[in-house]
Amino acid sequence: MFSNVAKCVTICVTFAFFTLSCGAEVKHYKNLIVGGGPAGLYTAWRLSNQSGQPNESTAIFEWSAKRLGGRIFTKTFPKGQYLELGGMRFTEEHQVLQKVLTSLDLQKHVVNFPMTSDRLYYIRGEHLYGSNISYSGVPYKTDAHEHRHMDPDKLLKILADRVIGENQPSNAEEWCRFYDNATLPSSFNSTIYKAGDVIGNIGYWNLILDQMGSEAFHYLADAGGYTANVINQNAAKAVHRKSAVPYKTLKQGYSFLIDTLAKESLKQSVKIVQGQRLTHFHWDAKEKKFYSTFVQYNKNGTSTGNQTVVTSDTLFLCMPKNSIDLIHENDVANPNSWPHPERKVLKNSRGKYFIESIIQQSAYKIGLLYDTPWWLSATFPPNLDVQIITDNLNYGPSITDLPLRQIYYMGDNRMMDMNQSYGILASYDDTHFPKFWRGLELTPQQVATKPFSEDLQPLSNGTKVPENMLQMVQKQLNLLHFNTTEMKVPKPIDGYFMNWDLNPFQAGYHAWKSHYKLAEAQYYMTRPGEEVGVPLFVAGSAYSNVQGWVEGAFDTAESILVDKFGLPPLTENYLLICRPQNK
C-alpha cells in the first residue's frame, strides 16, 4: 500500500538536468496532482472526500501564480459584471458535472444560457437571419441548389445520415464501437470512398468536400460559428451530432464552480501550491515513487529560477496535450531498475503515438463592457427572444465570417446593486482567426520583447484590450450591426481578451484525428502507466468523448478514480470513456 501521510525526506540526488544539494528537504505526497484546472480540482475533491483518508497527503501544483481553473475563466469587473473568457456553459446531459453541482449545493445557482432561435448572420458581405434562409438562400454557390436554403445544422445532419445509414447507434457503448469499427453503408454514393470503408479512417473535411463540395464546406465553416467543427478530424466522431439541448451556466459565472471545488478541497486539507511549473518527472522503480521537479513562476508569468523537487506515490497529470508536450520525462540513473525497456512511461514511442492522436484547436475571446445595450436598437439587431431580453440574459449568438466570428450578448449580469453596464463577448473565434487578433496585441510602435513560447498570457487574469485591437473590434461590430462606415457603436468602458493559442495550452479545445482507434487512445492516455505497473495518470477533456467541455475533464478523472482507486462511481450506467473490448 502507498504511504498515507505527507512527509519530508532528506536526499542527495543527481537528476538529468541539475543536482539537488545534500540535506535539502523533499516533500512527499501520496497523490500529487499537476494542474489546477477542472480535472485536477475534481480529482483532489474526490480523493479528499474518501472516508478515512488523511487528506494532507494530496496536493495540487499549478503553474499559474494568479488563478486556478485552466481554460475556465470568468473575468469579473469592479462593478460586479463578468464576461466568460474561457469555457462558459454546460448541459443537463453532462451527468458527472450535474452530480458535482448537486454535491456542492450549486444547483440553486444554475441559470439558463439562452440561445436565439433566429440567428443574425453577416457572411460574404450580406446580412440575413436564420428564419430567412429557407426562402432567400445563402450567398454560397453550393453544388446542390437546395443546400443554399438549409441552415448549417440541417446540412450536417444530411451528411451524418448518409454516413451512418441505417445502423444508428442507440447508446454510448454502441457509439464507441461505431467510432472504431463502423464502415460506410452500401447506400453511400461517392467517387472517392466506397461502401465498407472504415469511417474513422476518413477525415471530416475530406468527407464534406466529397459529399457536398467546396462551397458547402465554406458555408458550414463560416455560418456554423466554430470553424473547428469542420476541420479534418475523425469523421466517425464528427458525424455523431447530438440533438440540440438547452445550455446552462452559473449565475455568478462558470469560475464559481472552480472556486467552490478549490474551497471544498482546501477544507479537506488538500494542499494547493501555485506558481509551480512541472519541468521533469521520473519514476524510481526501486523506491516505488515519482520524483517531480518544479520551477517557480511569479505573478508576472516569469520564472524565478527556484526549483523544488517533490516525491509522490502517484502522479496525476491533469493537463491538455500541449502542456504535456512541454514536460520532460527523465531517464532514471539506473536503467536496471526500470520495468520497461524504454525506461519511460509516457514519453516513449507508444505514448507519443497516442498523444499525437489529438488535434489542438486554437481559440480566442474578446470581451467588452458598454454603458448601454446598443445592439438591441441597431440596424441589424440580434433577433433575441423576448424572454431572454426580459431576464437580461440576451446571449445569442450572432455569426459572421469576419474575424469576430461569434458574438454573445451577455447583458447586465452584475451581482451587486451598482451602476448598470452591459457585456458583450465581442469575439469568440478559433482555428486560424486567433492569429488575426494576435497581430493586434501590440501597437505599431511596439516591438516584441520575449519569445512567443514564453508568452504565458492564458495563465493571467486576462489582458486589457489595446487601442488598435479595440478599434478593429468596433469596426467589425459596426459592419455586423449597422453595415455602415460611419461608426455607430459607442466606445466601451472596459475590455479584456484571452489568447488560448499561447502556452501552456495552445488550444481552446481539441479533437481526435482520423486513423486512430479512439477506445485505445482514450484508455491509454488516461492510464499510460498501466502496461508497466506505474501509477501515472492523465486527465483532461482533451482525452475524452466530450472534448472542449468540463464534463470531459470530469469523465476522464472519474474513470481513473473508479477503476484504479476504488472510489464509488458518482453516476450509474454512464459511460465515462471508450475502452478496448478487453478492458
Q: How does pLDDT run across 143-181, given as a tens digit for each residue?
A: 999 999 999 999 999 999 999 999 899 999 999 999 999
Q: How far apart are CA 12 and CA 6, in angstroms?
A: 19
Does a structural domain hold residue 307?
A: yes
Query: Do 445 and 377 belong to one domain?
Result: yes
Listed range (20-29, 370-379, 503-512) with the worst mean pLDDT: 20-29
Q: What are phi and psi of 104, to 5 degrees?
A: -90, 5
What CA–CA distances, in Å, run from 24 to 47, 345, 431?
29, 27, 46
Query: Do 232 and 154 belong to one domain?
Result: yes
Query: Do 538 and 494 belong to one domain?
Result: no
The identity of residue 576, as a single letter, is L
Q: How far apart are CA 81 and CA 473, in angstroms?
A: 20
Does a structural domain hold residue 78?
A: no
Q: What is the pLDDT of residue 292?
A: 95
* Per-residue confidence band for 485, with pLDDT thresholds at 50, 70 and 90: confident
* Per-residue confidence band for 414, with pLDDT thresholds at 50, 70 and 90: confident
In this predicted model, which residue has the larger pLDDT, 104 or 10? 104
Q: What is the pLDDT of residue 459?
A: 98
Domain that holds residue 288: 7-70+254-358+510-565
Query: Do 408 and 492 belong to one domain?
Result: yes
Listed range (236-240, 282-286, 406-410) with the worst mean pLDDT: 282-286
Q: What is the mean pLDDT of residues 277-299?
A: 94
Does a structural domain hold residue 111?
A: no
Domain with residue 486: its CATH number is 3.90.660
Query: Is the pLDDT assigned to residue 511 strictly greater than 70?
Result: yes
* Per-residue confidence band for 1, with pLDDT thresholds at 50, 70 and 90: very low
Query: Do 216 and 284 belong to one domain?
Result: no
The predicted model scores a pTM of: 0.93
* N-to-C CA span, the chain: 24
Q: What is the pLDDT of residue 79?
A: 79
Return the percentage of the chain with pLDDT > 90, whole number: 81
Query: Do 321 and 383 belong to one domain?
Result: no
Query: Is the pLDDT assigned to residue 10 strictly greater than 70?
Result: no
Query: Do 413 and 435 belong to one domain?
Result: yes
In this predicted model, which residue has the larger pLDDT, 55 or 474? 474
Query: Is the pLDDT assigned to residue 6 strictly greater than 80?
Result: no
Residue 369 DSSP SS3: strand
Query: Do 350 and 367 belong to one domain?
Result: no
Q: What is the mean pLDDT of residues 390-419?
A: 81
* Per-residue confidence band for 410, with pLDDT thresholds at 50, 70 and 90: confident
Q: How does 197-213 read in b/e, with b if 16+ C-beta sit within 10 Å? A: ebbbebbbbebbbbbbb
Q: What is the mean pLDDT of the chain?
A: 91
* Per-residue confidence band for 24, with pLDDT thresholds at 50, 70 and 90: low
Q: What is the mean pLDDT of residues 80-107?
A: 97
Count of the separate structural domains present in the chain: 3
Query: Do 347 and 444 belong to one domain?
Result: no
Question: Which one-letter DSSP state was computed for residue 200?
Answer: G
Does a structural domain hold residue 327?
A: yes
Query: Is the pLDDT assigned to residue 55 strictly greater than 90?
Result: no
* Per-residue confidence band for 9, with pLDDT thresholds at 50, 70 and 90: very low
Q: What is the pLDDT of residue 423?
A: 93
Q: What is the mean pLDDT of residues 303-307?
A: 96
Nearest to 576 by CA among 560, 556, 562: 556
* Per-residue confidence band for 392, with pLDDT thresholds at 50, 70 and 90: low
Does a structural domain hold residue 120?
A: no
Q: In the chain, what's the furthest Cα-to-Cα distance?
A: 78
Q: What is the pLDDT of residue 16?
A: 37
Query: Do 49 and 176 belong to one domain?
Result: no
Nearest to 364 by CA among 467, 227, 259: 227
Choose one of 499, 521, 543: the last residue of a domain: 499
> How does pLDDT run across 427-457, given as a tens digit for each residue?
999 999 999 999 999 999 999 999 999 999 9
Listed range (58-62, 195-199, 339-343) with the worst mean pLDDT: 339-343
Query: Do 489 and 531 belong to one domain?
Result: no
* Per-residue confidence band for 14, with pLDDT thresholds at 50, 70 and 90: very low
Choose one of 468, 499, 530: the last residue of a domain: 499
Return the percentage of the chain with pLDDT > 70, whole number: 90
* Per-residue confidence band for 577, with pLDDT thresholds at 50, 70 and 90: very high
Does a structural domain hold residue 247?
A: no
Q: How far apart are CA 190 and CA 474, in angstroms?
A: 45
Choose one of 444, 464, 499: the last residue of a domain: 499
Q: What is the mean pLDDT of residues 560-570?
A: 96
Query: Do 323 and 379 belong to one domain?
Result: no
Q: What is the pLDDT of residue 336?
A: 47
Q: What is the pLDDT of residue 21?
A: 40
Q: How far apart are CA 554 and CA 545, in angstroms?
A: 11
Does a structural domain hold residue 420?
A: yes
Q: What is the pLDDT of residue 52?
A: 58
Does a structural domain hold residue 108?
A: no
